[in-house]
Structure 1
Amino acid sequence: MFLSLASILSFLAVFIPVAHGGKVLVFPHDGSHWVNMRVLVEELHLQGHNVTVIRNADSWYISETSPHYSTITVDVDGGGNEEFFRAFVSEVIKIKRSKGSAWSRFALDMELKDKFYELHKKICEVVVFIFENKDLMKSLNDAKYDAVLTDPANGGGVMLAHYLGLPLVFNARWTVHGEAHFAIAPSPLSYVPLPPSELTDRMTFFERLQNILFYTMRMHLYKQIVGPHYSALSSRYFGSDVDYFSLFQAADLWLMRVDFVFEFPRPTMPNVIYMGGFQCKPAKPLPQHLEEFVQSSGEHGVIIMSLGTLIGELPHDLADEIAAAFSELPQKVIWRYKGDKPAILGNNTLLINWMPQNDLLGHPSIKLFVSHGGTNGIYEAIYHGVPIVGIPIVFDQADNLSRMRAKGVAKVLDVSDLDRKIFKNAIQEVLNEPSYTTNMQGLSRLHRDQLVKPLDRAVFWIEFVMRHKGAAHLKTESYKLPWYSYHSLDVILFLLTNALLIVLFFVMLVRFCFRLCLKKKEKSD
């Protein structure tokens, strides 16, 4: 019996991996970004790690209690104002549909700039509150965390990791300076388009010119928005010689929410780990009422529509146009919509406040996805092979959809031109032209054909950083170089100077020899 028990224990020791639970401190970015972060948090918890999430008392998305993490609630206004963003999106729709002047759009951009300026100011105030709270800082130090996991769309987690001296892992697509690759990886503007320019990797001369001008203006704008706040914070706690953005670039690991079925090919770095679509998973059975509705569609199938959390409702006349277009289609429609019921709503259309989007996209009866172009929805559509009709409104949505359009899997509409006829024609084009579905199913096969699932890859690398106290061997020190050294302009100048000196030397030598020959000739004469 003893031998039998020993054999069982030996078998378990060999075939069941030992869990070494670590401690991860998470400083998330609120709003829809938390949807991505929560997936990582829940998976880390599932793997036996202890996760602590820092949240604001007025947090928009992050619950104070959860079976998957503990929280540290900071009683400071974090600037995550849901009402503002909803009002802002409504104003964007209004201006676009009224075909407002360039000045109106510029004023709207400036309003958004001011809002993000205030948002980062509030985030810095949260960081100062944490740093100045001696009891809180003592508890953070005493907890002996193994790593900080953060979204670099704000700089709070970056500052905290540096202050605590902990390895830093990013869950990233954006930083405070825009698209994350541009912060860490070589990014030749000749073929790497800067989001949200809506350009591709095959640019004409004038598109390359546009890309460079766009990059220059955007970088200047980003620094105006975030620079004053994070520079002051960095100078206050780390010294005036520490550039705040170098703290971002020094991160150990960049978990990038990107897959190259979506992103255009581009240079990258060893500490950039790609996990695009990590939130996607096989579809689960639908709730009974939805399954019955889907099954009632017959051979025509179902269209689903969701414009994300920020766009829960639309202007009444626009909602009526969309509803009217749906009513003329043979397909059944499931529309996530929180506004008033449209006056023209067909019997084929089901309005719901919330939908199990991933599970619906994975249902074999779903033929088309009408989307605003958020990255979560796009990756779920890719994963399940469902083509898209896109209605971008704000932020990176138009750029995301432009990438899908370039790959032949999406038809993109401008909300300023949208009416029932245009909308219906776009839907019928995508449904009736087989290439949209064929191309999307091809992307789906590419996306799924991976040795390791994106979520498993992400968790492995987080644990790698925890085990090895960082990933210094994967990090480049190039960000510490001045810009002229990074681009080797000093070397080029040195070589050109030497070449010029050599040329001058030979010119002077030839001149001297020529004069010497002239003198000898004069003497002989």
Structure 2
Amino acid sequence: MNVPRKMRICGFTLIICILSIPTHTAAAENILILPGMETGSHFLFMKIVGKALLDRGHYVTFILGEDHVNDLNHAFSVQRFTTNVTVQTWKTFWNNLAIANSRGEHIHPLSYNNSQMKTLVYDGCHAILRDSTFMNNLKTSPTNYSVIIGDILNPCAPILSLYLSIPLVEVATGSITANLVYLSTHTVDASFFPTDSRRPTVAPLHIHQHALKSTRILIATLHYQRAVLTNFDNLKSKYNIRSDISIYTAMSRAKLWLFNIDTSLEVGRPSMPNSVFVGGITAKEPKSLPKDMEKFMLNSGDKGVVVVSLGSYFNDMDKQISDIWASAFGRLDQKVFWSYSGTPPSTLGDNTLLVKSIPQNDILGHYKTKLFVTHAGLNGVYEAIYHAVPMVCIPFSGDQFNNAKRVTMRDLGIRIEAHGLTSDILYNAMIEVLENPKYKIEIRYRSEILKGKNMPAPQRAAFWIEHVAKQGYNDENESALHNLWDKYMLSLWLRLVFIVILVVIATLFIIKCFIMSCRRVYRYNIFRSLRRRLAARRAIKYSP
């Protein structure tokens, strides 16, 4: 029987499609993810990493609170625990923090001097450990987890790593969270990282600068361990989880560190072998926009569109501030796409469209987009770089100041302060970036760097997590990594000690020379005085 040619082609196509579907083979790993927060950019980062792991044929389980609405892919598993720290709690915290900073109060959320931030993280972890049903389910689950992925903001992931005896992968979703990395582990050269997001390190340091930063970091490390990690150590001991190992040690034993940074924005810096840069993990080729958004974009003509987005939390603001912003946008010749959920400003122009949420990556990738007005969140900055859209950065809190500084340093846009912002300042900043070609030229170059990686960031992260999962739970790599760190620090401190010794010797030599000179002068003056006295006596003796 002769099969028609079209049917044979369809049959072959069906077989190829079936074979190409990812399946959970015997090599599939069971991976546990504990987000630092269940909302915003931190949660988005974890979802993207989890999706990449699913695509490689692994099982992925998220640890989430009861109130979290499950908007995850159906292929994810979810383990839930009872907690009072809800998604809305985090949204309110970050929104209030952004408003306070816009008024010039300058509160640093990640310093942990902020008692509310510390309390939210601690209470969330405590809720997990005291939920005996949840903890027993993790321990006795037929799913033998291979690795746990945690956010550096939350020291609870290292505790669960000890409890389950599985390897730990730590994620630094923002550039400023590197501060917590060097405060809690030995996997980075701390002297190259900023200790203050408002004064970032933007160039290689001289040896005395290395020494000063290392000293500051040593003091900050001791403070961090005493003010923060001690509380989690007590919490771990309360529930009898490996009291022989401190949280500091557990964090330092992380097998892999994923940093949301890339050389298209960051300056070069040394890193340890278990550090992987996955900056731009949310940036990708754009999808088609909804019809109403696409129509708005196309109606902008040759002038194009200015996109305004202040992140997941700060999409509402005081009436006075929103009126200032709307007034500046209304003066532009371009159309304005503004992600804003508050009350429409009274000064809103006809060229401005307000939407509660936008597909940010897809809009930035539209050929009509000419400018991005942003709070300088790291994901948004990398998406703008990826799609070569210059920026006007208005940072409010956290790593946003550091990110805005990088944007300015690279000539990818300009930065203005939220506090004291006027309509003229905002309008002039947008006109400068729109009309000065240097920003567009430089960001196109940086876009090529970001796109030129041999593997997309999500797949790169998944590859190395898979590698750690297959290695298993052992400490073979730990000593080697620490030896590298110790050798570096030893050489640095030896050089510093050598310089100090030279300075001390030189100082002593100068002091000795000064004393000897003084003695010579003193002796010379005495001898001269004696000669004068003898001469005077002789003159008296032989006088007539």
Taking structure 2 as the reference length, the TM-score comes to: 0.78
Answer yes or no: is the 8 Å Cα contact 2:338–2:352 preserved in 1: yes
Q: Which AA in structure 1 matches 2:123? A: K
CA distance in 2, matches of 1:369, 1:226: 37
The one-letter code matched in structure 1 to 2:195 is L
Is residue 2:172 matched to residue 1:187? no
Which stretch shifts more, 129-138 or 68-77? 129-138
Deviation for aligned residue 1:188: 5.5
CA separation of 1:74 and 1:426: change in aligned 2, threshold 3 A: same
2:260–2:278 Cα contact (<8 Å) kept: yes
Counterpart in the other structure of 2:100: 91
- The partner residue of 1:333 within 328, 333, 336 is 336
Give the TM-score normalised by the residue count of structure 1.
0.80
Provide the secondary structure at the position in 2 that maps to 1:330. coil
Aligned residue number for residue 124 of structure 1: 125
Q: Say if 1:494 and 1:393 are closer, same or farther in 2 by CA, change over 3 A.
A: closer
The structure having more radius of gyration, on CA atoms, is 2
What is the CA-CA distance between 1:107 and the residue it aligns to? 11
CA shift for structure 1 position 265: 0.8
CA contact (8 A) 2:83 2:128 kept: no
Aligned residue number for residue 253 of structure 1: 256
2:524 — aligned with what? none
Q: Which letter does structure 2 place at the counterpart of 1:23?
A: N
Q: Per-residue CA shift, 1:162-188, capped at 9, x if unaligned? A: 211112222324698834366333425
2:66 to 34, 57, 74: 57
SS of the equivalent of 2:62 reads: strand
2:102 and 2:418 in contact (8 A); partners too:
yes
Distance 2:29 2:357 in 1: 35
Q: Does 1:163 align with 2:163?
A: yes
Distance 1:395 1:136, change over 3 A: same
SS at match of 1:487: helix
| Alignment-derived partner of residue 146 in structure 2 | 146
Q: Which residue identity lines up with residue 179 of structure 2 in the other structure?
A: G
Higher relative contact order (Cα pairs below 8 Å, separated by 6+ residues): 2
Match of 1:35 in 2: 44
**Structure 2 portions without partners, runs of 5+:** 2-7, 503-544
Matched residue type, 2:256: L
Distance 1:379 1:105 in 2: 25
Deviation for aligned residue 1:39: 0.8
Distance, in Å, in 2 between the alignment partners of 1:351 and 1:145 is: 45
Relative to structure 1, the CA distance from residue 347 to residue 214 in structure 2 (aligned partners, 3 Å threshold; closer, same or farther) is farther
What does the per-residue CA deviation read over 1:475-513, in whole Å, with 9 as the maximum and x for residues that have no partner? 4555599989953699899999xx9xxxxxxxxxxxxxx
Say which SS state the counterpart of residue 269 (structure 2) adopts.
coil
CA distance in 1, matches of 2:439, 2:190: 31
- C-alpha RMSD over aligned residues: 3.6
- Partner secondary structure for residue 416 of structure 1: coil
* CA separation of 1:379 and 1:221: change in aligned 2, threshold 3 A: farther
1:430 and 2:433 aligned? yes
Q: Which residue of 1 aligns with 2:456?
A: 453
Instruction: Give the distance between the partners of 1:108 and 1:467, measured in 2 at CA.
Output: 36
Deviation per CA, 1:316-344, whole angstroms, max 9, x where unpaired?
11111111111111111000011111111
Partner of 1:348: 351
Q: Is the contact between residue 53 and residue 69 of structure 1 (CA under 8 Å) also seen in structure 2?
A: yes
Closer/same/farther in 2, CA of residues 340 and 494 from structure 1, 3 Å limit: closer
Contact 1:196 1:396 in 2 (8 A): yes
User: What is residue 396 of structure 2 aligned with on the other side?
Assistant: 393
How many residues are matched? 476
- 2:170 counterpart SS class: strand
**Residue 448 of structure 2 corresponds to residue 439 of structure 1:** no
Aligned equivalent of 1:305: 308
Q: How does 1:72-87 map to 2 (within 5 A)?
A: 72-78=79-85, 81=89, 82-87=91-96
Separation of aligned partners in 2, 1:275 and 1:234: 31
CA offset digits 1:261-281 (Å, max 9, x no partner) = 122111111111221112211
Shift of 1:154: 0.4
Change (3 A) 1:222 1:145: same
User: Which residue in the other structure is 2:510 paired with?
Assistant: none
Alpha-carbon distance in structure 1 between the residues aligned to 2:236 and 2:181: 20
Residue 112 of structure 1: CA displacement? 6.0
422, 443, 467: which is aligned to 1:419? Answer: 422
* Structure 2: distance between partners of 1:408 and 1:63: 40
Deviation per CA, 1:218-243: give whole Å up to 9, x if none.
Answer: 54553354222222134443555422
- Tell me the CA shift for residue 383 of structure 1: 0.7
Where 2:373 maps in the other structure, the secondary structure is: strand
Distance 1:93 1:375 in 2: 19
Moved more, 238-247 or 277-286: 238-247
Q: Per the alignment, do residues 485 and 441 of structure 1 end up closer, same or farther by CA in structure 2, a change over 3 Å counting?
A: closer
C-alpha distance in 1, partners of 2:219/2:393? 27
Aligned residues: percent identity?
A: 28
Q: Which one of 267, 270, 286 corresponds to residue 267 of structure 1? A: 270
Match of 1:226 in 2: 228
- Contact 1:44–1:51 (Cα < 8 Å) also in 2: yes
Q: Which residue of 2 aligns with 1:521?
A: none
Is the CA contact (8 Å cut-off) linking 1:252 and 1:471 kept in structure 2?
no
Give ranges in structure 1 of 5+ residues lacking alignment.
Answer: 97-103, 500-525
Partner in structure 2 of residue 381 of structure 1 = 384
Taking the aligned partners of 1:254 and 1:23, their CA distance within structure 2 comes to 19
Distance of 1:310 and 1:228 partners within structure 2: 30
How many Å separate the matches in 2 of 1:331 and 1:217?
A: 50
Distance in 2, matches of 1:273 and 1:493, equals: 30
